[in-house]
């Protein structure tokens, strides 16, 4: 996408490392700027704090426009804990890639270490143009005039074969601006599913409302499966997550732990009708603290492909968690520790999402 861009590139990432993978992307961005492409790179100031000032200077001097997303102590609308969790790239306003993938070596098979398991959705057409406009809006008033026109996008879209078109919409979560679109989409899924629903999530800590709607879906006869991390990069979250296993199993929700490597994908699908993919995890951090972005797809054929992919992952790369193997691996002390981790993650971190937003 970067190498083929002719006019504009917008990139937003939570983590951007200057490792082997990061340098490949950075070189490509510098080359795009040399070709005359308008390049806008925005990354989170907290998660990407190791991104060097030297590289920022190199980017700026080479024509790549760079911007931090709200450093923790330097924001007009101070919000401690508010982070840019997006992982998106848009080329020329008509191609986009949205998912859970950051720019770092952990997403590539390097040095004998398997890549983290993640997914992203590639789109062409109107959805990409909506993302292009969103990135411009988030950049701020100092951005240059837009060189991508609606007429040009319509021309691109008219050339896409009808059988390749489907309904896709952009969904966002940002508590500060009172956007809870992804949360609402998940609640709609729990309410509308009739046959099955599957959630793949790297940090799964559903709140009371989510748990209530999930249990109601099961009582209606919906088969609910969750694919969760086995190996984890944040073990305190994994311990907190396992505290909920007893509730999940009690409510006949099937649990599968991914075994091959660290799971980082955020995907959900139900009834071969609807699917979603992006940066949103089912927990209070995604619901109330971070800026999240998902693409929601309403298409039978695509959703069927998503379901088949998830079923293959369950069959070949996961360990089922049953009442028997969960009970045998958990003692009283471990349950106390899991309860502590759950309380810390689900309650204490609420303090870090308290915000002060001045009225305009």
Tell me how crowded residue 200 is: count the other CB atoms within 10 A of its CB: 29
Average pLDDT over residues 73-94: 78
Q: How far apart are CA 135 and CA 140, in angstroms?
A: 9
- Position 65 scores a pLDDT of 97
What CATH architecture does domain 175-351 belong to? 2-Layer Sandwich (3.30)
Asked if the domains at 8-164 and 175-351 fall in one CATH topology, the answer is: yes
Q: What is the DSSP string of 341-352?
A: HHHHHHTGGGGG
pTM score: 0.91
- Position 71 scores a pLDDT of 61
Encode pLDDT of 178-231 as tens digits: 899 999 999 999 999 999 999 999 999 998 999 999 999 999 999 999 999 999
For the chain, give the mean pLDDT.
Answer: 90
- Position 312 scores a pLDDT of 98
**8-164: which CATH topology?**
Endonuclease; Chain A (3.30.870)
Asked whether the predicted pLDDT for residue 358 surpasses 50, the reply is no
Domain boundaries, the chain: 8-164, 175-351
Q: Which spans in the chain are helix H?
A: 20-34, 53-61, 126-139, 150-158, 181-192, 208-219, 235-243, 245-250, 284-288, 300-317, 323-328, 332-346
């Amino acid at each position: 996408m970067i190498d083929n861009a002719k006019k504009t590139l917008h990139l937003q990432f939570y983590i951007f490392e200057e490792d082997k993978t990061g340098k490949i992307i950075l070189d490509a961005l510098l080359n795009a700027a040399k070709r005359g492409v308008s390049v806008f790179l925005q990354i989170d100031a907290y998660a990407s704090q190791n991104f060097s000032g030297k590289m920022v200077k190199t980017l700026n001097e080479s024509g790549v426009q760079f911007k931090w997303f709200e450093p923790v102590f330097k924001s007009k609308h101070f919000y401690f804990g508010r982070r840019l969790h997006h992982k998106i790239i848009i080329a020329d306003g008509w191609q986009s890639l949205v998912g859970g993938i950051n720019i770092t070596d952990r997403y590539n098979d390097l040095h004998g270490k398997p890549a983290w398991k993640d997914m992203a959705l590639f789109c062409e057409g109107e959805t990409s143009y909506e993302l292009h406009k969103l990135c411009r809006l988030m950049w701020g008033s100092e951005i240059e005039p837009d060189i991508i026109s609606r007429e040009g996008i319509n021309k691109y879209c008219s050339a896409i074969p009808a059988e390749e078109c489907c309904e896709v919409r952009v969904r966002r979560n940002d508590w500060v601006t009172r956007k809870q679109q992804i949360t609402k989409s998940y609640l709609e899924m729990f309410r509308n599913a009739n046959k099955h629903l599957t959630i793949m999530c790297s940090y799964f800590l559903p709140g009371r409302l989510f748990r209530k709607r999930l249990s109601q879906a099961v009582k209606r006869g919906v088969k609910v499966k969750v694919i969760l991390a086995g190996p984890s990069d944040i073990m305190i979250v994994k311990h907190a997550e396992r505290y909920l296993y007893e509730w999940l199993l009690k409510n006949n929700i099937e649990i599968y732990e991914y075994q091959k490597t660290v799971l980082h994908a955020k995907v959900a699908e139900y009834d071969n009708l609807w699917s979603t993919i992006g940066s949103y995890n089912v927990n209070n951090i995604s619901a109330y603290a971070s800026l999240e972005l998902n693409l929601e797809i309403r298409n039978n054929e695509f959703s069927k492909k998503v379901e088949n992919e998830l079923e293959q992952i369950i069959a070949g790369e996961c360990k089922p968690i049953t009442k028997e193997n969960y009970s045998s691996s958990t003692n009283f002390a471990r349950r106390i520790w899991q309860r502590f981790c759950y309380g810390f993650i689900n309650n204490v971190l609420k303090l870090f999402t308290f915000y002060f937003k001045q009225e305009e």
